Structure 1
Amino acid sequence: MSNKIYTVQDIATIVAVASELIDPSAIVYTLAYDSRKITDAKHALFFALPGRRDGHQYVQEAYRAGVRNFVVRPEAVNITDYLNCNWLFAQDTLHALQQLATYHRKQFAYPVIAITGSNGKTIVKEWLYQLLSPEYHIVRSPKSYNSQLGVPLSLWQMDGQHNLAIIEAGISKVGEMEAIERMVKPTIGILTNIGHAHDDGFASTKEKTIEKLKLFKDADKIVYNPIYVDSAIEVPGRHHFTWRIGKGAQLEVTASLKENGSQYVLEATYLQQSYVLTVPFVDKASIENLVCCWALMLAIGYEAMVIVDRVKRLLPVSMRLELKKGINNNSIIDDSYSNDLSSLLIALDFLKQQQQHSRKMLILSDLPTVGQNQTALYTKVASMLEGKGLDRLIGVGKHLRQNAALFRMDTQFFDTTEQLLTNIPKLEIRDSTILIKGSRVFGFENISKALTLQTHETTLEINLNALEHNLNVYKSLLQQGTKLMVMVKAFSYGSGSFEIANLLQFNKVDYLTVAYADEGIALRKSGITLPIVVMSPGEDTFEQMIEYRLEPEIYSFSELEAFISKLPSEKMEAYPIHIKVDTGMHRLGFEPDDVDRLLAKLKRTDKIVVKSVFSHLAASGIREHDNFTSEQIRLFDVFTQDLTRGLGYHFIRHIANTSAISRFPQAQFDMVRLGIGLYGVSADEYRSLPLQSVTRLRTGITQVKYIKAGDTVGYNRNGRLSGDGTIATVKIGYADGYSRRFGNGVGKMLIKGMLVPTVGDICMDMCMLDVTGIDVREGEEVLVMGEELSPETLAKAIGTIPYEILTSISQRVRRVYYFE
């Protein structure tokens, strides 16, 4: 079956829309929806999609990136502003994209496996890819592209070189699955675990299950676990295959943990035959996902012993890009376990987002070429690399070397990973952001280890997807036109500096705020171009602030005079400043009665311009102080109106902090300031927002000791067990930010899913845990903070606030940023 090639005229006909075409025969290869992620602009079709930010606002950016083919609402764009473009007009641009995907899917007769459920979809998809690859050339959803937008982009990858598709589908509310079903039209369906994800969009678990099953309306085979389907629900599909860990299904499985605690033994019965399988996974979710894959293979006719042989070779799936500090002032993006066109494109977009180094580099292995034309594949790869700002490519594998002439940048090629590792010292890799992207067989994890700065074993993991999700939760609460300032002071609440700022800049927030000038200077040196406000500037830093275009908070007359005096007498006017007024916090700021005197000072010079005026709410998250908060808002409104009249121009007004964003919408004014809520900690105890945990602090066991009754543990002999027992020493102490207040059983950590208390005083670099009755070994992971042990939980244990927990984590603790 040959690949389908579309012209712009073809697409206009398919989606049945009006058009104005300059070049009807223009070929479309790629579908674009984000002006920051344009690939092959000449052959891209840009869909201006609705959403929190209307895609029509970014038509100009896409045009500047080289795109000349657009799908837009007819009234939303003045097309006369753009030369030599093809325009397709649709009132619902997302529907037009889905229509195109529906048509494209129908061009291919090979089977499509669709996967839905609450959890496990992506893992099941990736494991099926491993299990079925010997027989099939598979196209699959990139990462977790399973939404109303992700599904059509996934289907667009289908072409004549594949003979099987595996597509994820996710929904968050009633009525979404019908559109996905029309696009995917699966021949085989898999229902994974039904859990609590997206519960808010459904009246009950039963309703959620019914909605998800609509995906399989016309499917031939459905694979599912009956414990997740209410007996009153009618399962669609012509044939059903059921599995269960326990009795009551076609494939019945029992699981038991091996004595060493690192493997499960699965015993299965199918068609009155018994099978035994040992697998290197010990968590319940992985076992469920694995058995689901096992059932699918049986359902489509694989022999049981073939499945047993392949399943035991399954490899863990890493679905995340990790951003880490590297040697020689490098930043490392580690994606060293998979390599295909779709995941490469996602990784390249993440690389492009990074601004901390002026040079960007890719270390790439050969891609799988089963059933594909090698020259065509690497021509696509070379095209993808163009426009991504790459300065250097290091290729590993004979196929890349054979196609070296396709790549227009500084290149080096090696036949094997071992050759590259031997030559790393000679390559002078420094001062760069480096994407490491390799197929698992190339062992690129060894390259990552060689280039990553080896630091403290205790690690703080920062989930950039969760951070982006939380950002969008708060954006959804903003009124039309309200700007967003994000606080990144105190090392972004302990989470990082440029790593967080890069994501915020990519997501087009309006302002960043730091506490001190050196924080802002570090961001400027890392490529951050957003306006940055410094809350505590200091007279001795004014000259540096001016040099790096940092904008000061001005809170007193003496500070105002000092800053004006530091501005150059020539070629300097209208330097932006931010005026703080004290409406009741009584920490810093002009008094409301200072307005006339302040006006006189401001109008005396042209060197400065008031960019914003703001105040600080003292208790916006505490209901009993709501009257006080309302009075603060009133005083602020009066002060800023007086100042506006006196100055004769408008400035940005902002007083709402994280809790006020949701609790006091009338206080949003022109801009709001988002702080700790971005990091997944709600500042409002009265409203439950769907925030996600951003940080995960983990460490490891250094040693395990048997302690007799009566023995003491740690400094000052404060630690005692109630009888004979076992303690584990772990690699975190008060120098890492784990407070001494957590000592002597106040603090708890998670080992193998069980909470264990501290024993004795917390030491500078380590502490001890009571692990009596738990089979633990040196080197095992220990969770200190995460979704199960939230910052709020830890704060409550020692009588403090989550801010202190997050900002106390030491700089010596290694930070790893990941994007799934």
Structure 2
Amino acid sequence: MYTAESISKILKGELLQQTGNAEIEHILLDSRKLLIPETSLFIPLVSERRNAHQYIDEMYQKGVSNFVVSEPMSTAQYPKANIILVKNSLQALHTLVAYHRHQFQIPVIGITGSNGKTIVKEWLFQLLEKDYNIVRSPKSYNSQIGVPLSVWQMKPENQMAIFEAGISQPGEMVNLEKIIRPTIGIFTNIGEAHNEGFLNIRQKVNEKLILFMKSDVLIYCKDYLALNECVNNFHNLVGKREIDNDLQLLTWSRKTDADLRIIGVDKNDNHTRIDALYKQEPLFIRIPFVDEGSIENAIHCWALMLYLGKSQAVIQERMNLLGNIAMRLEMKQGINNSTIINDSYNSDLGSLAIALEFLQQQRQHPQRTVILSDILQSGKSEGSLYEEVAGMLEKKGIQKLIGIGKNISREKQSFSKIKSSFYPTTEDFLKEVNPADFQNESILVKGARVFKFERIGKLLEQKAHQTILEINLSAIAHNVKQYQALLKPGIKLMAMVKAFSYGSGSFEIASLLQFHGVDYLAVAYADEGVELRRAGITLPIMVMNPEPSTFDAILQWNLEPELYSMHILEQFEEVVRYANKTDYPVHIKLDTGMHRLGFEQADLDQLAIRLKEDGLFKVQSIFSHLAGSEDPAMDAFTRKQAQLFTQMSALLQQQLGYAVIRHIANSAAIHRHPDLQLDMVRLGIGMYGVDSTSFQDKLRNVSTLKTTVAQLKRIPAGDTVGYGGKWKAKVPSLIATVRIGYADGYDRKLGNGNGKMMIRTKLAPVIGVVAMDMLMLDVTHIADVQEGDEVIVFGEELTVQQLAKWADTIPYEILTGISQRVKRVYFQE
């Protein structure tokens, strides 16, 4: 049991105040993720952009009474709190969890590598859960913060632990090694992912190998030459340095001699048979996957099972049952104006907390429902387990619970404060459920794999057009952080969510941005802002193109209009005066050379008089728009605009008599012209993963537009395809008709060979004329194409920038032109 007193001794910190000795079970690093305040220890971390000490008061008010801080503070403000002062809160977190890890003498599997860490971890759990009570990293918790939160989950009832570790720069793995201290190591592979923080690939391998300094065995593939060389050098060094710790290497290879020598890989009917020699004995496994990544991941798992001494019969049986791993939480439009969040492959307390966070982010529906299966292998008694689950649901404002499984049904009394219903099996629920009972609500579907909750997801999801736009919310969060890292201290961030968030969605994106602490949102028209307000968005929202017909709605929904001319100012002034309001927030647009909208220099004196008159308005910001911040050829013009803006905004601010926020920098200017960050920056298309400069390399792809093959046709040479017979087959050809057309936003200019799509990792040209709902591809050169195959229109490998070049346009037009009939699927990794 941990208390403030015992933790103070572990950390060698100063116990500034002790008011009790309550048990501490949970570590809280993010104030937004508070679930159980009574047993939580809040450790505020400090970064360049944010100091979490500012949330101590909020956490105290919500019932947290245990704090580890790295800044002196007044204890008088928190009379019921235990407060421990340390030099560095992140180091304190690592020290505390490293101490916790050393209390356990169980097999601990540590996994690192460039790809496959999470899949290998989850597959090992599937393969070994019958034999051990296993604790593992939630989702992809493998960072300097994620690893401690994972390892802190270790409890006395656990018989095995599986943790993954990832790093982005040298010096990080030494911290994670002390926290994980794996007895068994797996190095999945090495590649170019996250390479920017290292001098070369060997430095990256050597840094990752530090994880296995104290391990008994390391499993890896010899076929990665740089990895193999570095492992052998590492093995020699460890042997010299620690004679009593003989690190065993367990290798596998498809090319050369190894402990597990792969001698055959046969793919057939969505299954793969893998043959090998192990200790001169022929063995084989079958897995229900055919892609190369899955084959590699399965072999790593196979080697681990052999090391643990599992029988070949058990290995074969379990390998054949390996299931897909949900690497993400998916949010889709559901029936009856509902939203479905699908996490139907696992159910444990850690992943439930993550899913509830995601559900809380989405505020478009006041009603929140959770469909939850039995939670397996928690190690807790059923009574205490489901009391804790009930507490989590209550804290997150869940109004309705549907429990499925015999265990959760037995503990229904724990959920007396929530409207609940219970079913012994998924089949029972599906027999009795009436889909009409689900309306206007957000529904989290959260189940262990054995309950096959994907059937519930299919029942509740709205049936739609098979062309979908996938939006990676984790990638948006990553991109926002990349730009935030460039900002000077104190600079605010306005996020542009106009034009349906550049085609990505409205409240879904705004909810994410609000959760991640942006300061302002901007929309093009008032109706966009009204939709956000109705969905529960409380951030300040600037309306960039206010129309007189929407002024009443702007006032009603507390939106903040951009005023760009005397005419629009006078019209809004009249509405504000009639509504008997004062100090109404507005934003003033200045024209510094783009000549689209904005007040000019000659307008400033009169503008200042009107803004001060009657106290109707309070200017929140003064801003302008750069015409070519991304273009080096326009840098002189950009400087000219910036100089004029500085003069005009200073004059206007002086006449107003109070300070206002000034902003002129857009996405490209944030990094190309850092001197123009001023008081706030506006982040637009860069947030969605598109930047026309070298900064693109730091961004992640956000949107993937995909469709499917509706039909395949073989046509002879000389036949034509599509309206007007614009394309003629020169040789016998295989033609794929796919479910997308210009009504979905696919530009007609991309027909007749100008555009291409990706099927089975190969490009296929668009042939003939693009029709309203369909188009055709020439797939003659692509092997094994099937009806129903996925077709990528743009995404990670085939970028929206490339598509825009083929269409002779810009990415903005492609993204914003995607039709509303295209189903949006949001997911969080």
Q: Give TM-score scaled by structure 2 length.
A: 0.96
**Following the alignment from structure 2 to structure 1, what is the Cα–Cα distance between the partners of residues 39 and 234?**
45
- Give the residue type in structure 2 aligned to 1:347: A
Counterpart selection for 1:176 from 172, 197, 210: 172
**Following the alignment from structure 2 to structure 1, what is the Cα–Cα distance between the partners of residues 610 and 551?**
19
**1:376-399 superposed Cα distances (whole Å, 9 cap, x missing partner):** 322222222231111111111121
Q: 1:493 corresponds to which residue?
A: 502
- Give the residue type in structure 1 aligned to 2:357: D
**Following the alignment from structure 1 to structure 2, what is the Cα–Cα distance between the partners of residues 10 and 420?**
47
- Give the residue type in structure 1 aligned to 2:128: L
**Following the alignment from structure 1 to structure 2, what is the Cα–Cα distance between the partners of residues 104 and 686?**
43
Q: 2:334 corresponds to which residue?
A: 326
- Give the residue type in structure 1 aligned to 2:723: Y
Q: Give TM-score scaled by structure 1 length.
A: 0.97
- The more displaced of 762-771 and 300-309 is 300-309
**1:611-631 superposed Cα distances (whole Å, 9 cap, x missing partner):** 111000000000011000000
Deviation at 1:61, TM superposition (A): 2.3
Q: 2:205 corresponds to which residue?
A: 209
**Following the alignment from structure 1 to structure 2, what is the Cα–Cα distance between the partners of residues 781 and 274?**
37
**Following the alignment from structure 1 to structure 2, what is the Cα–Cα distance between the partners of residues 21 and 28?**
16
**Following the alignment from structure 1 to structure 2, what is the Cα–Cα distance between the partners of residues 426 and 557?**
54
Decide whether the 8 Å contact of 2:349 with 2:378 is kept in 1.
no
**Following the alignment from structure 1 to structure 2, what is the Cα–Cα distance between the partners of residues 570 and 816?**
41
Structure 1 pair 330–314 and aligned structure 2 pair: CA distance change class (3 A): same
Q: CA RMSD in A?
A: 1.5
- Is 1:238 matched up with 2:234? no
Decide whether the 8 Å contact of 2:253 with 2:260 is kept in 1.
yes
**Following the alignment from structure 1 to structure 2, what is the Cα–Cα distance between the partners of residues 771 and 704?**
9
Decide whether the 8 Å contact of 2:10 with 2:96 is kept in 1.
yes
Q: 1:623 corresponds to which residue?
A: 632
Deviation at 1:568, TM superposition (A): 4.2
Q: 2:421 corresponds to which residue?
A: 412
- Give the residue type in structure 2 aligned to 1:612: S
Q: 1:339 corresponds to which residue?
A: 347
Deviation at 1:452, TM superposition (A): 1.1
What SS does the aligned partner of 1:291 have?
Answer: helix
- Give the residue type in structure 1 aligned to 2:701: S
Aligned identity (percent) is 50
Q: Runs in 1 of length 4+ with deviation above 6 angstroms?
A: none
**Following the alignment from structure 1 to structure 2, what is the Cα–Cα distance between the partners of residues 589 and 570?**
26
- Is 1:536 matched up with 2:545? yes
**Following the alignment from structure 1 to structure 2, what is the Cα–Cα distance between the partners of residues 728 and 817?**
28
Decide whether the 8 Å contact of 1:124 with 1:290 is kept in 2.
yes
Contiguous gaps of at least 5 residues in structure 1: none
Deviation at 1:594, TM superposition (A): 1.3
Q: 1:120 corresponds to which residue?
A: 116
Deviation at 1:369, TM superposition (A): 4.1
**1:569-624 superposed Cα distances (whole Å, 9 cap, x missing partner):** 46411000100000011111111221111112112221111111100000000001
- Is 1:28 matched up with 2:24? yes
- Summarize the alignment of residues 205-604 of structure 1 with structure 2, pairs less than 5 Å apart: 205-228=201-224, 229-231=227-229, 233-235=233-235, 236=238, 238-254=247-263, 256=265, 258=267, 260=269, 262-369=270-377, 372-407=380-415, 408-425=417-434, 428-569=437-578, 571-604=580-613
Counterpart selection for 1:134 from 130, 135, 151: 130
Q: 2:242 corresponds to which residue?
A: none
Q: 2:152 corresponds to which residue?
A: 156
Q: 2:241 corresponds to which residue?
A: none
**Following the alignment from structure 2 to structure 1, what is the Cα–Cα distance between the partners of residues 97 and 396?**
26
Counterpart selection for 1:7 from 3, 11, 18: 3
**Following the alignment from structure 2 to structure 1, what is the Cα–Cα distance between the partners of residues 725 and 811?**
30
Structure 1 pair 697–319 and aligned structure 2 pair: CA distance change class (3 A): same
What SS does the aligned partner of 1:154 have?
Answer: helix
Structure 1 pair 254–63 and aligned structure 2 pair: CA distance change class (3 A): farther
Decide whether the 8 Å contact of 1:71 with 1:87 is kept in 2.
yes
Decide whether the 8 Å contact of 1:535 with 1:552 is kept in 2.
yes
Counterpart selection for 2:40 from 40, 44, 48: 44
**Following the alignment from structure 1 to structure 2, what is the Cα–Cα distance between the partners of residues 462 and 498?**
13
Q: 1:91 corresponds to which residue?
A: 87
Structure 1 pair 64–725 and aligned structure 2 pair: CA distance change class (3 A): same
- Is 1:66 matched up with 2:66? no
Deviation at 1:657, TM superposition (A): 0.4
**1:272-304 superposed Cα distances (whole Å, 9 cap, x missing partner):** 222333322122111111111111111222233
Deviation at 1:259, TM superposition (A): 5.3
Decide whether the 8 Å contact of 1:30 with 1:39 is kept in 2.
no
Decide whether the 8 Å contact of 1:580 with 1:588 is kept in 2.
yes
Q: 2:668 corresponds to which residue?
A: 659
Decide whether the 8 Å contact of 1:255 with 1:264 is kept in 2.
no
- Give the residue type in structure 1 aligned to 2:800: P
**1:88-131 superposed Cα distances (whole Å, 9 cap, x missing partner):** 11120011111110111111111111001111100000000011
- Give the residue type in structure 2 aligned to 1:503: L
**Following the alignment from structure 1 to structure 2, what is the Cα–Cα distance between the partners of residues 266 and 375?**
44
Structure 1 pair 811–426 and aligned structure 2 pair: CA distance change class (3 A): closer
What SS does the aligned partner of 2:408 have?
Answer: helix
Decide whether the 8 Å contact of 2:723 with 2:768 is kept in 1.
yes
Decide whether the 8 Å contact of 2:263 with 2:275 is kept in 1.
yes
- Give the residue type in structure 2 aligned to 1:791: V
- Give the residue type in structure 2 aligned to 1:810: S
**Following the alignment from structure 1 to structure 2, what is the Cα–Cα distance between the partners of residues 81 and 734?**
62
**1:694-750 superposed Cα distances (whole Å, 9 cap, x missing partner):** 011111110000010000000110122220010110101111111111111111111
- The more displaced of 579-588 and 399-408 is 399-408
What SS does the aligned partner of 2:528 have?
Answer: helix
**1:383-439 superposed Cα distances (whole Å, 9 cap, x missing partner):** 222311111111111211111111121111111212222333277221111111011
Decide whether the 8 Å contact of 1:223 with 1:299 is kept in 2.
no
The alignment of Structure 1 onto Structure 2 pairs a total of residues equal to: 813
**1:1-50 superposed Cα distances (whole Å, 9 cap, x missing partner):** xxxx1111111111110012332412111100111000110110000111
**Following the alignment from structure 2 to structure 1, what is the Cα–Cα distance between the partners of residues 348 and 741?**
42
**Following the alignment from structure 1 to structure 2, what is the Cα–Cα distance between the partners of residues 292 and 57?**
45
Structure 1 pair 502–433 and aligned structure 2 pair: CA distance change class (3 A): same
Deviation at 1:81, TM superposition (A): 2.8
- Summarize the alignment of residues 94-109 of structure 1 with structure 2, pairs less than 5 Å apart: 94-109=90-105
Decide whether the 8 Å contact of 2:394 with 2:418 is kept in 1.
no
**1:482-503 superposed Cα distances (whole Å, 9 cap, x missing partner):** 0000000010000000000000
Contiguous gaps of at least 5 residues in structure 2: 239-245
Deviation at 1:780, TM superposition (A): 1.1
Decide whether the 8 Å contact of 2:711 with 2:787 is kept in 1.
yes
Structure 1 pair 592–751 and aligned structure 2 pair: CA distance change class (3 A): same
Q: 1:735 corresponds to which residue?
A: 743
**Following the alignment from structure 2 to structure 1, what is the Cα–Cα distance between the partners of residues 644 and 266?**
65
**Following the alignment from structure 2 to structure 1, what is the Cα–Cα distance between the partners of residues 808 and 691?**
17
Deviation at 1:360, TM superposition (A): 1.1
- Give the residue type in structure 2 aligned to 1:778: E
Decide whether the 8 Å contact of 2:343 with 2:446 is kept in 1.
yes
What SS does the aligned partner of 1:412 have?
Answer: strand
What SS does the aligned partner of 1:401 have?
Answer: helix
What SS does the aligned partner of 1:376 have?
Answer: helix
What SS does the aligned partner of 2:787 have?
Answer: coil
